Amino acid sequence: MSETLDSVIIGSGHNSLACAVHLASKGWNVGVFERASEPGGAVKTGEYTLPGYRHDWAAMNLSLFAGSAFFKEYGQELSTHGLAFAPVADCFSSVFPDGTWLGVSNDLETTAKRMAAENADDADTWRALTADFPTQAETLFGLLGSPAKKRAFAHILFKEWRRNGTGGVLDLGRFLLASPRDWLTETFASPKVRAMLAAWGMHLDFAPDISGGALFPYLEGMANQAFGMVLGQGGADTIVRAMVASIEARCGSVTCNAEVSRVIVENGQARGIELADGRRIMAKKAVIANVAPDALLKLTGDTGNTSYDQGLKKSAHAPGTMMIHLAMDALPDWTAAEDLKKFAYVHLAPDLDQMARTYTQARAGLLPDEPVVVCGQPTAIDPSRAPEGKHVLWLQVRMAPGTIRGDAAGTIAATDWETAAEPFAERALDILERYAPGTRARILGRHIVTPAMLEADNPNLVGGDQICGSHHLTQHFLFRPVRGFADGSTPVGNLFHTGAAVWPGAGTGAGPGYLLAQKLAG
């Protein structure tokens, strides 16, 4: 038994759904097929601890989605299908062992005054960077939002040359190659300002000394200062529910509990998919796979292009992440300041050296002795996620090895995640207690999600890698996932690749899916 559509899409992550929305709007008959019981991939929300407490499974920050080209085109439509945001004025902060803190709020002088208490020159630098950001954003967001083609990148660089000359192009190139430590140490004097911004690199596999990582602390700092942050009203899955409704309103479909066993390839052309239950869904125009690089080969077999196949097999993954979801009687009592209860994110990452050590330990397969803890406080912004007066905490423990070879602290003997989960989670909670004593006593329920559990739930998150592959320079821009195929094309006719594994990579901006849909349907 088979049916025929214009396009079939494997996987229902937000890139798949954005791609399907655009294709459906162009008149394509689209079907999305998902192995899990619900759509969304890493962007989903559920009551993982106690009834009435809604936790974002992995992704929480929807700022990239709200600022995306896809949302600019479809935002009004999606709002009619229930999409709603919760804007954040107090965006992110860091706490330090000496009882001090720093934070970025979207009021410039509020942020600058906090920095001035550490270093007056840094406050002036922050004001200058903020004033210059609109000019820099045009180039940087243009670059990150462009199709992965040499001509498109060259056009952006030519515009930069016309505006700022050869020196400006060279300065841009130097910045794009810089590590977080390179840029932060030459820009700011205060180690605390540096640490506050460097923590963002740890969200995306850029420890302080990794080349190419300066871009992300810069963009997160400047974008949050300029625009604030955006969470999903009621949960990050607001974008998923709205996109599914949009697809179905155009007679497309999103089918869950439908695992794809293979892509049907005949004479070098993708013709459709076969599901695990034997059903065949044929595609007249395109088969689109939102999968990790190595998984694409498992669906197709060898493509006939040795360089491409080897590139997918060798694709490197970032270290994993442990998630700890907490139902809380109240928010943490931060020792540093009561104001910290207003922030969406509180980073427990006190200095660049600690972040670098944590990353190195995780890459070596060790449970870090002092992991970076990202404490998300979504109910400080959106109380609807918990019963009245109660809260949820969203904890990311970064970094964590996908495969455990040992413990950097020498106290956890387990080398399997099933056994190591509890003691490693306790290590992270010990760190939280250091900065907010009494937090444990306020926990009403908790759910630990190990790197192994993340991968079991979503095979794209190999070893708990939430970004579907490292974004280091050798695997980014024109090299993501393989040189010559960063635009989503593959050596197999009518077969296309999308998702975080493809340029422009991870995040909730839907860039890979939307760019591919534009390529296919205009």
**Among 163, 128, 158, which residue's Cα sits nearest to residue 143?**
158
Name the nearest CA neighbour of 460 among 260, 243, 175: 260
* Domain ranges (residues) in the chain: 2-41+64-83+235-315+468-521
Q: Please report the pLDDT score of residue 1 as a whole number.
A: 54
3-class secondary structure for 92-124?
EEEECCCCCEEEEECCHHHHHHHHHCCCHHHHH
Nearest to 11, CA basis, from 289, 286, 245: 289
Q: For residues 340 and 92, what is the distance between their CA atoms, to the nearest angstrom?
A: 9
Alpha carbons 172 and 165: distance in angstroms, whole number:
11
Mean pLDDT by runs of 10 across the 522 residues of the chain is 90 98 98 98 98 98 97 98 98 98 98 98 98 90 81 74 83 92 98 98 96 96 97 98 98 98 97 97 98 96 94 96 98 98 98 98 98 98 98 97 98 98 98 98 98 97 96 94 95 98 96 97 91
What pLDDT shows up at residue 151? 75
Query: Residue 298: CB partners within 8 Å, gap ≥ 6?
Result: none
User: What's the CATH architecture for 2-41+64-83+235-315+468-521?
Assistant: 3-Layer(bba) Sandwich (3.50)
**Eight-class DSSP state of 57:** S
Task: Give the pLDDT of residue 186.
Answer: 98
Q: How high is the pLDDT of residue 170?
A: 86
Rg of the chain in Å (alpha carbons)? 22
pTM of the full structure: 0.96
